[in-house]
Copies of this chain bind each other. A is one copy, B any other.
Amino acid sequence: MPNKNFSFEIISQSEKARLGKIKTSKGFIDTPCFMPVGTLGTIKGVFLDDLLNTGTQIILGNTYHLMIRPGIDILEKFNGLHSFINWQKPILTDSGGFQIMSLSKMRKIDRNVGAIFSSHVDGKKIILSPEKSIQIQKSINSDIMMVLDECPELTSNKKKLSEAIETSTIWAKRCKVEFGNNKEKALFGIIQGGLYKDLRIESLEKLEKIEFDGYAMGGLAVGEGQDEMFKILNETVHLMPKNKPRYLMGVGTPSDILGAVKSGIDMFDCVMPTRSGRTGLAFTWEGKLNLKNSKFQYDKYPLDHKSKIRDLNIYSKSYLNHLIKSNEILASMIISLHNINFYQEFMKQIRTEIKNGTFNSFYDKYINVFS
């Protein structure tokens, strides 16, 4: 599409790992990138200016959650999420499909209609069609939108997975039509197919015919082991279009990210840094630290004395141990911010290593540090 205000270029490559840059009308995104998750329009426990200081260039919003709270009505009054939450950089929204799978008790997939389910907040019946998902994402005014897909639970049932691909392909086409010819926004297709190479390729080929601005791997990190995830990524990611961003949805730990970058993935999102932050789990270059552990009770040292985010260095591990045990908000605030900052430092280092051609030794050094 000519003159589209969304583009992707590869700057450097280290075997399959790619250093790139996404251009959007809201700014650049250096890839491989990590997108903190702002489920309800807030990265839980983190001030927006602190988030900017971590180097975060794009955040993710959840269509399903946002359509329920604050609701489309309010988002439209603000011309979208950016201005509602006051975040001027890019936003990616998922389609709502994954949350319907994971949160709704009552749900039904009707290929001709969409997903029919009940709100996890008030039980109200909601129909989410492919068109509706895109309309909501337009109301959210996100820069990168995702097609509505059927995201099956972890299964080895090929028939089920094939049917999900069939449904997802039909829905992807309908999403593309609804999305229209929008020069300012991007629409990504989502590849399904579980852990089967042939199904993944089938799904990918069907989506490529529709033509999207980027392609995502869906239906992973849903309970399979890391080895299985790495295997299917290694078998298929390099077959995804080279000139488009490749996004692995809902992943993951720093080592998950390392392995996926090695197979050629460019984009990640995960609740891990903030969810861990709320349970006292910190990510550092030395690995994961469970700050609840009483071995930190007398530890006078900060999480990372080299950290430059805010003045987080003034807080000792002993103090954090106390705050967590006392269920104090400040613990979540400090550790969530620390973790997001660590993730962004980690991504920055990955980008540097790809540029320097040293990614493989970086991979070897850190692949087992976070497990």
Contact = CB atoms under 8 A, between A and B. Distances in A.
A109 interface: no
A340 to B, nearest CB: 14
A122 interface: no
A84 B326 contact: no
Nearest to A65: B326
A77 interface: yes
Interface of A: 40-42, 44-49, 69-70, 74, 77-78, 84-86, 297-298, 300, 310-311, 314-316, 318-319, 322-323, 325-326, 328-330, 332-334
A328 B274 CA distance: 12
A281 to B, nearest CB: 16
A44 B328 contact: yes
Question: Which of A41, A48, A85, A322 is packed against the most chain B CB atoms within 10 Å?
Answer: A322
A46 to B, nearest CB: 7
A49 B310 contact: yes
Nearest to A318: B74
Contact of A298 (B49, B74, B297, B328): B74
B300 A47 contact: no
Contacts of A41: 319, 322-323
Given A45-B329, A47-B334, A70-B322, 11 more contacts: A40-B328, A41-B319, A42-B328, A47-B330, A48-B311, A49-B314, A69-B325, A69-B326, A84-B319, A329-B333, A333-B333
Contact of A45 (B40, B69, B310, B333): B333
A46 B330 contact: yes
Contacts of A47: 310-311, 330, 333-334
Given A300-B78, A325-B69, A333-B333, A314 B48 contact: yes
A44 B329 contact: yes
Contacts of A77: 298, 318
27 contacts: A40-B328, A42-B323, A42-B328, A42-B330, A44-B330, A45-B330, A47-B311, A47-B333, A47-B334, A49-B310, A49-B311, A70-B297, A70-B318, A74-B297, A74-B298, A77-B298, A78-B300, A84-B316, A84-B318, A84-B319, A84-B322, A86-B314, A86-B315, A86-B316, A329-B332, A329-B333, A333-B333
Nearest to A46: B330
Rank and list the top 10 A-B pairs by shortest CB-CB distance, nearest first.
Answer: A86-B314, A70-B322, A45-B329, A42-B330, A40-B326, A49-B311, A42-B328, A69-B326, A77-B298, A44-B329
Contacts of A40: 322-323, 326, 328
Contacts of A86: 314-316, 319
A311 B53 CA distance: 13
Nearest to A42: B330
A15 B330 CA distance: 42
A44 B333 CA distance: 11
Contacts of A318: 70, 74, 77-78, 84
A48 B314 CA distance: 9
A310 B86 CA distance: 14
